[in-house]
Amino acid sequence: MAEMDTARGAEGDEVLHPGSSSGGNQAWFDRACRVIPGGVDSPVRSFTSVGGTPYTVARGEGAFVWDVEGNRYIDLVQSYGAVILGHAHPAVRAAIDLASACGTTFGAPTVGEVLLAEAICARVPGCDQVRLVSSGTEATMSAIRVARGFTGRDQVVKFDGCYHGHADALLAGGGSGVATLGLPGSAGVPASAVADTLVVPYNSVPELDEKVACVIVEPVAANMGLVPPSPGFLQALRDACDAVGALLIFDEVITGFRVGYGGASARLDVRPDLWCFGKVIGGGLPVGAFGGRREVLGVLAPQGNVYQAGTLSGNPLATAAGLAVLGVMDAGLYGELEARAAWFAASLQAAMDEAGLVASVPSMGPLVGLFFGDDPREDFPVRHFAAARRSASTGVYAKFFKEMLGRGVALPPGPYEVMFPGIAHDEALLGQVVDRAGEAATAVSARVS
């Protein structure tokens, strides 16, 4: 049973029976479906793979969201990682207010974009320059164009189950929503657009040749559930790229400034040639960035002949929000967050084991995954997409999701996503999630067996 926000400032622990309310979520979703395809602006938000009607969010604060019926949820979605400080954080709100009073977009250089670019480069060893864009999709699409322009080659190697946004060339073998909907790729993408995209299994080093412009990888895969890199995998990839003169691209749209102060490359000590960022660096507003060595980015117009542009790129509101987030997230806070997430993952694992559900709860920094299986020795740990798919095919995630939502905990509505505990999820709150997970797992276990 989800919790009701009974009054302004109330603790919100009054119990509301699902279905006993006005049906506001259904009404809003019906209205959405009339004017928005599928009722959502991004497919992963739909409840296609878990069943039921999505809750329509009225507001969020810290670790919580409230839907239009007043139900309160402990939110582990956190905009798929775009939010790390919790919803409506005072520092972010203040920064946006201040920026908005000075104008929202100009089509000329601004101070905010310089400060955000400096902050990113200062935190990521080897990243000399970044160009700001408005989404992660734009970042990866542009990084690939730079890699092709720089090398004069066409082929792109990507890993099965890694998601790099929805640009044509990168939609083959995608994780996240593409995987959730069971699409091999996407209709509307001509074969010619993916003819130079090679898809290979995660955590094995592919054989490369001199036709390859770049290898793009999520250094910690977080769009097929959470699949950390095997020891040595990223360094071996670095070496394989160097051997044939291909560029290595780390898509750090999720991992950037989340798995550590300098993101995955700094944490795992492997340097790509190009980085893609998004999510955290926008503080919940639309931002992406791609960056790399000065020499490589030199191919971009106006200096070079690789074209890339954006009317709203480096938007003052978004850069202000991003800077506010990076300003709060000092090295100590990453340590705290990681320690809490590790405790949360271990406690969740114990709760699953106790309930008799075959599950694996991996974690990496503050990222926490959840896989279900049939046989723990055969199915875990999950190291590649085929194994993630096998886990998803058990169908247990959907059952668990529903039990958790009914207990006031919002997990991502699909088995290929991860949980995003952030600064606002303190240990007491994560403890509540663990307790409810134990109840939910017991309920699912009773139905599965």
Ligand X SMILES: *Cc1c(COP(=O)(O)O)cnc(C)c1O
Residues near ligand X (CB under 6 A) are: 135-137, 140, 163-165, 218, 223, 251, 253-254, 278, 288
Pairing of strands 64-67, 71-75: antiparallel
300 three-class SS: strand
Nearer to ligand X, 285 or 324 (CB): 285
Residues 134 and 286: their CA atoms lie apart, in Å, by 5
Residues 157 and 147: their CA atoms lie apart, in Å, by 12
Q: 251, 334, 379, 402: which is the annotated catalytic residue?
A: 251
Pairing of strands 288-292, 129-133: antiparallel
Nearer to ligand X, 164 or 267 (CB): 164
The nearest distance, CB 133 to ligand X, in angstroms, is 9
**CB nearest ligand X: which residue?**
136
Nearer to ligand X, 163 or 233 (CB): 163
Per the CB < 8 A criterion, the answer to whether 251 and 276 are in contact is yes
Catalytic status, residue 374 = no
Nearer to ligand X, 87 or 279 (CB): 279
Q: 158, 279, 399, 402: which is the annotated catalytic residue?
A: 279
The nearest distance, CB 141 to ligand X, in angstroms, is 9
Nearer to ligand X, 70 or 283 (CB): 283
The nearest distance, CB 340 to ligand X, in angstroms, is 22
Catalytic status, residue 41 = no
Q: What's the one-letter identity of residue 296? A: V
Per the CB < 8 A criterion, the answer to whether 422 and 75 are in contact is no
Angle between helices 111-123 and 316-328 (to 10 degrees): 40
Angle between helices 427-448 and 396-406 (to 10 degrees): 130
Per the CB < 8 A criterion, the answer to whether 409 and 76 are in contact is yes
Catalytic status, residue 330 = no
Using alpha carbons, select from 147, 148, 121, 122 the residue that is nearest to residue 132.
Answer: 121
131 three-class SS: strand
Q: Tell me which residues are annotated as active site.
A: 163, 251, 279
